[in-house]
Structure 1
């Protein structure tokens, strides 16, 4: 393998389920100053549709689809990083300034940092630029209290990125800033709705160590994280008004157990899919795509839940015959 002249900084983009990592990543990719950025995107479990929600998908974005980065894809991650160096050396990729690794919502950045820092082979080509943690300002307080994974992600951050500040309560935001200011050691706190100075984020300052922090539980997390994921899918188009009533009602009734919902909806009379996203009790403004990705048009909804099963999700569709009769 040809040597790469300058170690590339690797930035870990993390944040709890539904925090807004993909939205931030889209903003990063749309900024022309970040053109020399390679991205590694990791999905929860074996289900992958986030790559359909990223605007720019080409040779600069590499997708890892199996498992949580800090748990089961270490060999794949190492190979993917080294593959980027090899492609750059061979001229198959343009010169790069950095790599951004998007983790799953339940990833532990401390474990990933340790892996990156302790690999002699990786250290010949890469440095750790830092940890970027996206914080959901609507549900952040609750999430930090209930999920040690989220607390670890915030505590490990070099940069905290507050999302959804346009719909969050001002007093809640102030409390969250104070809590994170006391807990985290971040050098920079940003609002994702503002114009972001990416040069302040990517200043290529090498991270030297992993801070010692008092957590609610030891480093690492149990296999499976207590979360489950499943997909609801069907081919026939739905009536949007009926579908929206069902989805909003489901999030109101079971939002405490639905940590993330995202997907593409095949709607009657629409040429392309409608992209939907929900986090707990909140259903976000859907967006329309001009055309379907490759393959047969079909509705595909990905759920990440606790205490809410696929069969329960299907059963909730029963009162909405215009939808359920198509399943």
Structure 2
């Protein structure tokens, strides 16, 4: 049984620890290992989670895992996994890394590449304060990167008196990342279960990403742009790979998310291309007829104009429009 590895992100004070505690308080939350990272000398969030019950908790207090050199994330995960094996127990159902509110997801995803032998199913979740999430994403680069990288965005504060309208909050979150599944559940235990266990990997992999970006113009974020790049049919893989490398190099930290399917000459069926920040996973071959129309990729970027993006794309025959 493969273990689900959740990278739980969210800006400072957006409700990450509360969401995690709500999960651990349910019967379904059993068999979960938790890694908590904080940038302070005292890992306050880790202490809170560790005191909540019998959950196995590992605390990482050597700085933010996304930027610390020589952080012990990989070693700690190895210890948890092999300790479970030595005890004669089955793998954890899930592992949750609760990141610092100032973490960026892409370096964390990069570090997890060293854990390939464990065959984790890695997912990025981000909390979104229904009252202040839009302001956070507009003012703080870390918040924008967290939201754009997420496969699921969990709206928090919906259970409080005078909470913002859920539909309006969901629309604001979708304007930042139209590719994410939005969890807008006011009941806290139900919200936690929907966040951690309600993600269909197969459906997410084959859905047409471009279909999610329609109608966003009215909700346009002041700093985050959602673009649709179209590559010509029948490109060879070398052209696609060079375009991806150029895109990552030219855009740098402004590139937040890329997802879409491309038709490559000599390959039966489209290839799914996915990137978080400048980190791209290996292409995944899809069955013919899945993944939407091949050649269309959604690009989410911060402080990047269509003209700048077109300079990167046009040499490879790609066209770019802003949604």
Report the TM range for the smaller structure's normalisation.
0.5 to 0.7
Local SS of the residue matching 1:46: coil
C-alpha displacement at 1:73, in angstroms?
Answer: 6.0
**Aligned counterpart, 2:225:** none
| Candidates 58, 61, 64, aligned match of 1:62 | 58
Say which of 120, 129, 138 aligns to 1:136.
Answer: 129
Change (3 A) 1:175 1:196: closer
Q: Does the 8 A contact of 1:143 with 1:150 survive in 2?
A: yes
Q: Using a 3 Å threshold, how does the CA distance of structure 1 residues 169 and 38 change in structure 2: closer, same or farther? A: closer
TM superposition shift of 1:183:
2.5
Counting only pairs closer than 5 Å after superposition, residues 164-183 of structure 1 correspond to structure 2 as 164-165=157-158, 166-167=160-161, 169-170=163-164, 174-183=167-176
Instruction: Give deviations 1:178-237, integer Å, cap 9, x for gaps.
Output: 2321321112423354423626733573888325521248xxxxxxxxxxxxxxxxxxxx
Q: Is the 8 A contact 1:11 1:132 kept in 2?
A: yes
CA contact (8 A) 2:170 2:184 kept: no
Aligned to 1:162: 155
Matched, 1:77 2:73: yes
Query: Which runs of 5 or more residues in structure 1 are unaligned?
Result: 1-5, 218-327
* Counterparts of 1:200 and 1:170, CA distance in 2: 20
Q: How many residues align?
A: 208
Who is 1:50 aligned against?
45
Distance in 1 between the 2:69 and 2:95 partners?
17
Give the CA deviation at 1:84. 1.0
1:148 matched to 2:141: yes
CA contact (8 A) 1:114 1:210 kept: no
Residue in 1 that maps onto 2:111: 115
Structure 2 runs not aligned, ≥5 long: 206-272, 277-298, 305-323
Which region of structure 1 is more displaced relative to structure 2, 207-216 or 156-165? Answer: 207-216
2:209 counterpart of 1:213: no
> How far 1:47 moved relative to its partner?
2.7
Distance 1:72 1:50, change over 3 A: same
**Who is 2:193 aligned against?**
198
Contact 1:155 1:183 (C-alpha < 8 Å) held by counterparts: yes
SS in 1 for 2:191: coil
Change in Cα spacing, 1:129 to 1:99, as seen in structure 2 (3 Å) is same
Q: Distance in 1 between matches of 2:164 and 2:194?
A: 28
Tell me the equivalent position of 1:103.
Answer: 99
Structure 1 segments of 4+ aligned residues over 3 angstroms from their partners: 92-95, 167-171, 173-176, 206-209
Question: How big is the alpha-carbon RMSD for the aligned residues of Structure 1 and Structure 2?
Answer: 2.7
Normalized per residue, the structure richer in helix is 2
Q: Which residue of 1 aligns with 2:15?
A: 20
Contact in 1 for aligned 2:157/2:163 (Cα 8 Å): no
For residues 59-80 of structure 1, the C-alpha deviation after alignment (integer angstroms, 9 at most, x for no partner) is 6111111210111165400001
Q: Assess if the C-alpha contact under 8 Å between 1:138 and 1:167 holds in 2.
A: no
Structure 2: distance between partners of 1:28 and 1:92: 25
TM-score normalised per structure 2: 0.58
Equivalence for 1:29: 24
Paired residues of 1:14 and 1:107 also in contact (CA < 8 A)? yes
Query: How far apart in 1 are the matches of 2:95 and 2:163?
Result: 34
Q: How big is the shift at 1:24?
A: 0.7
Kindly indicate whether the alpha-carbon contact (under 8 Å) linking 2:128 and 2:173 is maintained by their aligned counterparts in 1: no
CA contact (8 A) 1:10 1:126 kept: no
